[in-house]
Amino acid sequence: MIKVVVRSIGLDSLTGSPILMLADIENENNIYPIWIGVPEAESIILGKSKVETPRPLTYDLMKNIIESLGATVEKVAITDHKNGVYIAEITLKKENGEEIAIDSRPSDAINIALRFDVPIYLNENVVQKIDISQIKEVKPEDLEEEVDKETEGIKTVEDLDKITEPEKDEELEKFRKMLENLRPEDFAKKPKKEDKKEG
């Protein structure tokens, strides 16, 4: 397992589906892309930019429930890939010290991780990495500046709406170009024989 951070959200040039870009903290050129839904992508942007909403949204509500029950989130991890679906776990710790692993989608686990500010881990044998430097000649510091631009100036939900409009978001436009020849199946490693059938 490696520790990763949320680098950014890209878009699949063919389907328009959001792609969650996770970067290895040891080598930020190594990106692990995972295709996710639009609402989850928007929530990740909200969580990453620490936007406060007038009322709790879904993941903020989940955070409030977990804390109200006297538990904390220790970490989240993307652990497996079965039948074309990524598997993640949210590790909770109860007041008595007992740890509980909760089955989750990666996008939900990462949304929770961002709100609890806990580590995100990934099984590098499950998600195929890409090297940004091989796809597009960009210096790492340039990429950091682009990530900073993504959340700069976001103070309200209205600001977020402006950021998430594809035709107005320069970073997403760059990702569209970068990913034009990529397909989801290029990044999902084939499941092992024992993973083909459950039970």
Q: Which domains does the chain have, with CATH numbers?
A: 2-180 (3.10.690.10)
Q: What letters, b where the CB count within 10 A reaches 16 and e where it falls short, cover 116-134?
A: beebbbbbbebbebbebee
- The CB density around residue 12, as the number of other CB atoms within 10 Å, is 18
pLDDT the model gives residue 140? 41
pLDDT of residue 136 exceeding 80: no
Bridge partners (DSSP) listed for residue 53 = none
pLDDT the model gives residue 112? 96
CA atoms within 13 A on the CB side of 52: 1
How far is CA 7 from each of CA 10, 24, 28, 103, 196, rounded to the nearest angstrom? 10, 9, 8, 23, 31
pLDDT the model gives residue 139? 39
Per residue in 88-135, pLDDT tens? 999 999 989 899 999 999 999 999 999 999 999 999 888 887 766 554
Virtual CA dihedral for 59, 35, 127, 110, nearest 10 degrees? -10
The CA distance from 156 to 152, in Å, is 12
DSSP strands (E only) in 65-189: 72-82, 85-93, 99-104, 120-122, 130-131
pLDDT the model gives residue 149? 57
pLDDT the model gives residue 9? 86
Residue 163 · residue 45 · CB < 8 Å: yes
The model's pTM is 0.65
